[in-house]
Chain A
Amino acid sequence: GAVVSQHPSRVICKSGTSVKIECRSLDFQATTMFWYRQFPKQSLMLMATSNEGSKATYEQGVEKDKFLINHASLTLSTLTVTSAHPEDSSFYICSAYRKSSNQPQHFGDGTRLSIL
């Protein structure tokens, strides 16, 4: 099946640091990548939808200046959590999707972000 690589898998850093998370689709070209946030024992909350070559679409309540998304190519999207604070600690998951393919999303393994 399709493989999506998400890196890093775990980050621990000090408050105020900016953290970049990469999401790569390894064996298909993703027209769309999604970024999700998941709190313990809860579902995935869609943060933003990233289409290659265009600006990301953010869900209501998600600060676009806080969570910068870049989708520079059909195989790479990045999420940068800027000036991270303890409340940003969470599990972030990306997925890659090819529109009109009637195929499912393929997920990365997630990034556990802990801000001290």
Chain B
Amino acid sequence: SQQGEEDPQALSIQEGENATMNCSYKTSINNLQWYRQNSGRGLVHLILIRSNEREKHSGRLRVTLDTSKKSSSLLITASRAADTASYFCATDGNQFYFGTGTSLTVIP
């Protein structure tokens, strides 16, 4: 069963613009992770945010977590064509469950 849901399902932006993706989940968590997947490849871990953290930055990535709303957002600033990929959130518990993913297209 899937724990998380990302929205939007698809996002198309111009290079240089910011991209925001949201993730909602259902149960309590220890941490939430964001991953990136290029077509036909495995997932690459981007950032992990713990349940007691509200915001985290890593390079051009900014993640927020609102445990009261059971939601998280991933912001990619100054997007590049190479950021084109699918982005997933995943929550832990006894197991990991992935959201449905956001397909991001950055147009050069």
Contacts and interface: CB of A to CB of B under 8 A. Distances in A.
Contacts of A110: 40-42
Interface in A76-116: 91, 93, 95, 97, 102-110, 112
Contact of A91 (B35, B40, B50, B96): B40
B42 A93 contact: yes
Contacts of A59: 1
B33 A105 contact: yes
A44 B1 CA distance: 10
A107 B42 CA distance: 6
Nearest to A102: B31
B42 A6 contact: yes
A95 B33 CA distance: 14
A34 interface: yes
Contacts of B31: 102
Given A43-B2, A46-B96, A46-B97, A102 B41 contact: no
Contacts, number: 59
B98 A109 contact: no
Nearest to A111: B42
Contacts of B43: 44, 93, 95, 105, 107
B41 A104 contact: no
Contacts of B42: 4, 6, 93, 107-110
B26 interface: no
Given A105-B45, A105-B96, A43 B88 contact: yes
B30 interface: yes
Contact of A46 (B44, B45, B95, B103): B95
A49 interface: yes
A43 B87 CA distance: 10
Interface of A: 1, 4, 6, 34, 36, 41-46, 49, 59-60, 91, 93, 95, 97, 102-110, 112
8 contacts: A43-B100, A43-B101, A95-B43, A102-B31, A102-B50, A103-B48, A110-B41, A110-B42
